[in-house]
């Protein structure tokens, strides 16, 4: 038997290149097909889908922003929506249906929620990454345990960053795309008061560790107790 005979036969659809342009379709049908492709690609992906990926299934003349707006309009009365998160688009159920989803699945998502301390540590990493566990401990005035860091890593919200140039070269920690997705942020600049902290020159670890009062005041959105004593 020849090598040619051993090759699997290809279906006729495999011999045709994927048609992105759909030039043979009337404009309205072409637009509807592009909408369907974009929504299907987003629906099938467990991660936010970037503009670059979506552009692979539509024509060069397709305005993706208008496609997204039309899809959002069609979903306006549905229990799920299309949101921008982590630099891409993703389907999300609307918050109003959270209790129904928990009841139907027989689970309590609240059990997986972070404690106040864990949330504060996570947000501090978000603002001042890459940051070491030692720097976090200095910021909070008490040791941040490996267990706490481990929980945030297990949840997929943080990961290892580059090693610090400080003595001992400890690992730093940075947030992950899951962090953005979990909180519905498109980029880190969507963190609360990011621009206020940046304008005040406080998005700097050296300043963070020397001006705790000012940083904490801005993070809390208030200047109350700014001159109060620090915990030892």
CATH number at residue 75: 1.10.10.10
In a domain, 183, yes or no: yes
Within this chain, do residues 91 and 123 fall inside the same structural domain, yes or no? no
**4-16 pLDDT per residue, tens:** 444 445 444 444 5
**27-36 pLDDT per residue, tens:** 999 999 999 9
Strand partners, 129: none
Under 8 Å between Cβ of 133 and 170: yes
On average, the pLDDT of the chain sits at 80
Provide the domain limits for residue 92.
21-96
In a domain, 70, yes or no: yes
In a domain, 4, yes or no: no
Confidence of residue 200 (pLDDT cuts 50, 70, 90): low
Within this chain, do residues 63 and 129 fall inside the same structural domain, yes or no? no
Q: Tell me, rounded to whole angstroms, the distance of Cα 127 from its chain centroid.
A: 14
Q: Which of 51, 58, 61, 92 is nearest to 75 (CA)?
A: 92
In a domain, 145, yes or no: yes
Average pLDDT over residues 128-136: 93
In a domain, 231, yes or no: no
What is the total count of domains within the chain? Answer: 2
Within this chain, do residues 119 and 211 fall inside the same structural domain, yes or no? yes
Instruction: Give the pLDDT confidence score for residue 110 in this predicted structure.
Output: 47
Within this chain, do residues 87 and 155 fall inside the same structural domain, yes or no? no
Two tokens at 37? 């492709």
Confidence of residue 59 (pLDDT cuts 50, 70, 90): very high
Instruction: Give the pLDDT confidence score for residue 192 in this predicted structure.
Output: 80
**216: phi > 0 → left, psi -120 to 50 → alpha, else beta; which?**
alpha
Within this chain, do residues 119 and 53 fall inside the same structural domain, yes or no? no
Within this chain, do residues 81 and 132 fall inside the same structural domain, yes or no? no
Within this chain, do residues 73 and 122 fall inside the same structural domain, yes or no? no
Instruction: Give the pLDDT confidence score for residue 222 in this predicted structure.
Output: 38
In a domain, 106, yes or no: no
Within this chain, do residues 89 and 169 fall inside the same structural domain, yes or no? no
Higher pLDDT, 193 or 137: 137
Which of 69, 96, 123 is a domain's end point? 96
Instruction: Give the pLDDT confidence score for residue 224 in this predicted structure.
Output: 39
Within this chain, do residues 91 and 145 fall inside the same structural domain, yes or no? no
């Amino acid at each position: 038997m020849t090598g040619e005979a051993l090759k699997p036969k290809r279906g006729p659809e495999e011999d045709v290149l994927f048609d992105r342009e759909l030039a043979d379709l009337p404009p309205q049908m072409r637009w509807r097909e592009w909408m369907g492709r974009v929504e299907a690609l987003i629906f099938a992906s467990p991660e936010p889908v970037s503009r670059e990926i979506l552009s692979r299934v539509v024509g060069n003349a397709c305005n993706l922003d208008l496609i997204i707006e039309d899809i959002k309009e069609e979903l306006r009365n549905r229990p799920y929506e299309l949101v921008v998160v982590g630099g891409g688009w993703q389907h999300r159920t609307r918050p109003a249906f959270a209790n129904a989803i928990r009841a139907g699945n027989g689970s309590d998502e609240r059990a997986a929620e972070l404690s106040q301390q864990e949330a504060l540590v996570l947000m501090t990493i978000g603002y001042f990454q890459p940051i070491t566990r030692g720097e976090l401990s200095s910021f909070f005035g008490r040791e941040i345990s490996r267990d706490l860091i481990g929980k945030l890593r297990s949840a997929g919200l943080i990961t290892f960053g580059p090693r610090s140039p400080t003595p001992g070269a400890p690992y730093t920690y940075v947030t992950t795309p899951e962090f953005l997705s979990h909180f519905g942020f498109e980029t880190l600049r969507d963190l609360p008061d990011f621009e206020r902290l940046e304008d005040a020159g406080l998005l700097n670890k050296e300043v963070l560790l020397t001006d705790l009062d000012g940083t904490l005041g801005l993070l809390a959105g208030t200047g109350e107790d700014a001159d109060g004593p620090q915990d030892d």
